[in-house]
Amino acid sequence: DESNGNPIEDSLVQLRCHFTWELLVEDTEMPDLENRILDEIEFLDTKYNAGIHNLLAYVQHLKGQTQEALGSLKEAEDLIQQEHGDRSAVRSLVTWGNYAWLYHHMGRLAQAQTYLDRVANTCEKFAAPSCYRLDCPQMDCEEGWALLKCGGKNYERAKACFEKALAAEPENPEFSTGYAITIYRLDGFNKATQVSDASCLQPLKEAIRLNPEDAYIKALLALKLQDVGQEAEGEKYVEEALTNMSSQTYVFRYAAKFYRRKGALDKALQLLKRALQATPSSAFLHHQMGLCYKARMIQIKRAANWQPRGRDRDNVHRLVHLAICEIQKTLMLRPTFELAYVELAYMYAEIGQHTKAEDAFQKVLHMKNINDHLQQEIHYCYGHFQELHKISVDKAITHYLKGLKIRSISRTREKILSALEKLAKRHIHQNVRVVESFSILGLIHRLKGEVSEALVCYEKALRLAADSNTMV
């Protein structure tokens, strides 16, 4: 058993379970993942509970909590028996696979082999081509849920799993729910930089057709309708979800987000505070609280024509400090929440604490494994911070250009082009950095496909540079 040709290990790697799915979770993300799993177990009313206990067991194993992991697998096993009875064998394959891996890590090889044998017997019963691997839509669904819970880097793979499951059983309510949530998450994951589309509207509506009592899905559909300009229809779904006692803590989260974006900040804050009473360790909720305080601060500044005085100025400072407090709590709970660092930096800058703002930006600028769209947004925000607060025009231009190097067609790209164009034209008008500014305008025209305008700008830059050299 200790040789390289270890027969147990050769069998284990064939299993479909959390130990073989290559779930991408960084160590710093683990506490937030565990909090979200525990919140789901306690507060999300769903018929699909076994999978989340399996995932909890895997997280507990990673933390070295072996006995707790065994207890979570027992919970999963009991739930499968309750929910599926005589048809529980296929549903148990993931749990048995996790048991086998866990006992292997504990050095209890006889018990690991017992669970391998259970998997093998079930695979043989269903005439699977592999002794330890059964390809079926239920297994695809289990893998999809695990990937979905483990964050954005896993969403595309989760989508593929649910698509495969739905291809086999298009009317399955669980597969439909998983697919709809995944498409919604993917859309939200990219929305900061991409033009939002309505691709997840139909999957969400289909999931509600198959799960008419699922208030959580209705809340997600409401947000998506709001995204695409159908806020009135979205509010009907929010109100419907709020009248349902199912999954209320989750519904409060998304209803609060809906009302925040609508501008009904008192209602949003009320819902968030109710949700926080149940789940005080939710990074999502603290972030939404911070965004509400920021939105209220902007309302006051706008009403005061951006020059608040007296009590208004005091309220602005109070709200900024409240926002900072909530975003700091967010980052304590979820240190890899990239855009929360940007929000924190902006709040510090709002009250003139530029050193703290710079520190927040540096943390996110040095983070690894950030997708292109998000990197582009971060470079734009940092450039805007440098320019707006007159700290360094050079840094502003450098980071705008870094954002443009990321070749993503996005809203952020348009914002960068607009910011650079205004900056360059202002410098030309002020007769400073003129050669550089015409070069930048040439680049902007070229990226927009305006070749003749680009050539004119480049020629002006070259001529001015030549004149400057002649004078020297």
Q: Helix 411-430 vs helix 434-447: angle between axes, to the nearest 10 degrees? A: 150
In the structure, what pLDDT confidence band is assigned to residue 190 with cuts at 50, 70 and 90? low
How many Å separate Cα 365 from the centre of its chain? 18
Taking the C-alpha atoms of residue 232 and residue 448, their distance in angstroms, rounded to an integer, is: 36
Q: Is the Cβ–Cβ distance between 193 and 411 less than 8 Å?
A: yes
In the structure, what pLDDT confidence band is assigned to residue 5 with cuts at 50, 70 and 90? low
Sequence-separated contacts (24+) of 214-218 with Cβ below 8 Å = 214/177, 214/246, 214/247, 215/240, 215/241, 215/242, 215/244, 215/246, 215/247, 215/248, 215/250, 215/251, 216/44, 216/241, 216/246, 216/247, 216/250, 216/251, 216/254, 217/177, 217/180, 217/181, 218/244, 218/251
What would the pLDDT profile of 381-433 be if each residue is shown by its tens digit? 999 999 999 889 999 999 999 999 998 778 899 999 999 999 999 999 999 99
- Phi, psi for 432 (deg, rounded to 5): -125, 145
Which is more confident, 371 or 113? Answer: 113
Complete DSSP assignment for 373-415: HHHHHHHHHHHHHHHHTTS-HHHHHHHHHHHHHS---SHHHHH
CA 392 to each of CA 230, 235, 384, 425: distance values in angstroms, whole numbers, following the listed order: 41, 44, 10, 17
Taking the C-alpha atoms of residue 373 and residue 231, their distance in angstroms, rounded to an integer, is: 26
Q: Helix 283-303 vs helix 248-262: angle between axes, to the nearest 10 degrees? A: 20
Q: Does position 4 have pLDDT exceeding 60, yes or no?
A: no
pTM for the predicted model, two decimal places: 0.88
CATH of domain 7-135: 1.25.40.10
What would the pLDDT profile of 91-105 be if each residue is shown by its tens digit? 899 999 999 999 999
